[in-house]
């Protein structure tokens, strides 16, 4: 349970902190972040356990609000949460406050318009963001109740509110907390991270109105700083090629490479590649009886993933094979008259050994 659930894996932070070619200040910031993230991870696990308990004894009967309120707080480089409230954050002088508000609002709209979901918990939960967390804090994450954003050290990472896929990824951890309730270890941990990458990428594509062929499928490309880019790193992860050397966190591409105890940020490459392969197959002009909606990841492939997340109940210990089976059931339920869709899905899972 030692893995953190922020966008940057703890292993990457520690590895870079030992890189003597980086500046002393950058290495210190990386190590400080790694130490803090270990404790934040405990908060999120407590929140997940609380969510499991409360949903079992008191299921939601009514929505808190028709649409979620989005709030932003400023930690002013302290670790005090949530910080001071930012009045009217959508028009704040601070561009970081504006960015956090605008993107969190857009994620809520994405879930509402595309999946008919009312906020993180589907009951109008307020979306709270704390910006300027810590000094040169090199991460962003969902801590079980709210979003935290660091400013980065300016060398390896830059302002984490600048990555819309990062924000979509982390808020999706909240959605998973209220749906599948996946544990953050072994195969369910890999699925947890993968679901966040999938929906974070879909959110980025939806905002840009990009089809599967126009999208770059990179995760975290907008938060990579100049020192990391000078070393050839362009992103955290690449869903088209999880093992690529331009990724700060390269991943396995086949289930045969998986082993128990693997950091979820790495094992997530397996289902990530399955989703990408499936979405690309649907977007291929040669796909049988292809419809325009197939080319947009959120309109067909994404609907199957969301249905698999939200139907069948929570499954904290779900394996990748079990999730794949849920996606097959979802495809057959949503598109019963288009067998080519499930055939493409089956091929995508088979290609990654699941």
Residues annotated as part of the active site: 170, 265
The C-alpha atoms of residue 293 and residue 316 are separated, in whole angstroms, by: 32
Name which CATH class applies to 10-177: alpha beta
**Which one, of 108, 192, 95, lies nearest residue 149 by Cα?**
95
Phi, psi angle pair for 114, to nearest 5°? -95, -35
Name which CATH class applies to 186-351: mainly alpha
What tens digit of pLDDT does each residue of 26-36 get?
A: 999 899 888 88
What tens digit of pLDDT does each residue of 145-199 get?
A: 899 999 999 999 999 999 999 999 999 999 999 999 999 999 999 999 999 999 9
DSSP bridge partners of 219: 237
Q: Tokens for 318, please give them.
A: 């779900």
Grouping H, G, I as helix, E, B as strand and the rest as coil, residue 238 is strand
For residues 275 and 194, is the Cβ–Cβ distance under 8 A?
yes
What is the residue extent of each domain of the chain?
Answer: 10-177, 186-351
What pLDDT was estimated at residue 58? 64
Low-confidence residues of the chain, pLDDT below 70?
Answer: 1-5, 39, 41-52, 56-62
b/e 222-248 (16+ beta carbons within 10 angstroms → b): bbbbebbeeeebbbbbbbebbeeebbb
For residues 78 and 131, is the Cβ–Cβ distance under 8 A?
no
DSSP assignment letter at 93: S
| Helix or strand (DSSP H, E) at 79 | none
What pLDDT was estimated at residue 164? 97
What pLDDT was estimated at residue 3? 41
What pLDDT was estimated at residue 1? 37
Exposure of 154 by Cβ count < 10 A (0-12 exposed, 13-18 middle, 19+ buried)?
A: middle
Compute the residue count for the chain.
Answer: 354
What pLDDT was estimated at residue 44? 59
Place of tokens 């325009």: 292
């Amino acid at each position: 349970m030692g893995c953190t659930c922020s966008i940057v894996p703890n292993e990457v932070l520690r590895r870079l902190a030992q890189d003597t070619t980086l500046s002393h200040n950058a290495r210190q910031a990386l190590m400080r972040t790694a130490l803090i993230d270990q404790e934040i991870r405990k908060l999120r696990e407590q929140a997940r356990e609380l969510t499991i308990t409360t949903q079992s004894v008191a299921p939601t009967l009514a929505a808190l609000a028709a649409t979620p309120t989005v709030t932003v707080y400023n930690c002013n480089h302290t670790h005090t949460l949530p910080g001071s409230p930012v009045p009217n954050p959508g028009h704040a002088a601070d561009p970081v406050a504006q960015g956090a508000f605008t993107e969190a609002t857009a994620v809520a709209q994405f879930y509402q318009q595309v999946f008919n979901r009312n906020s993180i918990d589907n009951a109008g939960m307020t979306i709270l963001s704390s910006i300027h967390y810590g000094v040169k804090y090199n991460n962003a994450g969902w801590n079980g109740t709210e979003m935290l954003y660091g400013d980065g050290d300016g060398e390896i990472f830059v302002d984490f509110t600048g990555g819309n896929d990062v924000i979509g990824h982390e808020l999706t951890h909240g959605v998973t907390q209220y749906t599948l309730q996946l544990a953050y270890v072994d195969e369910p941990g890999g699925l947890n991270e993968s679901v966040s990458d999938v929906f974070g990428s879909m959110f980025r594509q939806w905002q840009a109105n990009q089809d599967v062929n126009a999208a770059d499928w990179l995760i975290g490309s907008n938060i990579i700083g100049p020192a990391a880019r000078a070393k050839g790193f362009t992103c955290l992860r690449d869903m088209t090629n999880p093992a690529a050397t331009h990724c700060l966190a390269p991943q396995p591409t086949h289930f045969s490479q998986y082993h128990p105890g693997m950091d979820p940020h790495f094992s997530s490459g397996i289902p990530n590649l399955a989703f990408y392969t499936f979405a690309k197959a649907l977007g291929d002009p040669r796909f049988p009886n292809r419809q325009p909606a197939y080319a947009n990841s959120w309109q067909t492939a994404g609907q199957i993933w969301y249905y698999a997340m939200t139907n069948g109940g929570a499954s904290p210990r779900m394996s990748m094979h079990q999730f794949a089976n849920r996606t097959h059931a979802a495809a057959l339920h949503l598109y019963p008259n288009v067998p080519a869709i499930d055939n493409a899905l089956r091929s995508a899972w088979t290609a990654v050994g699941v």
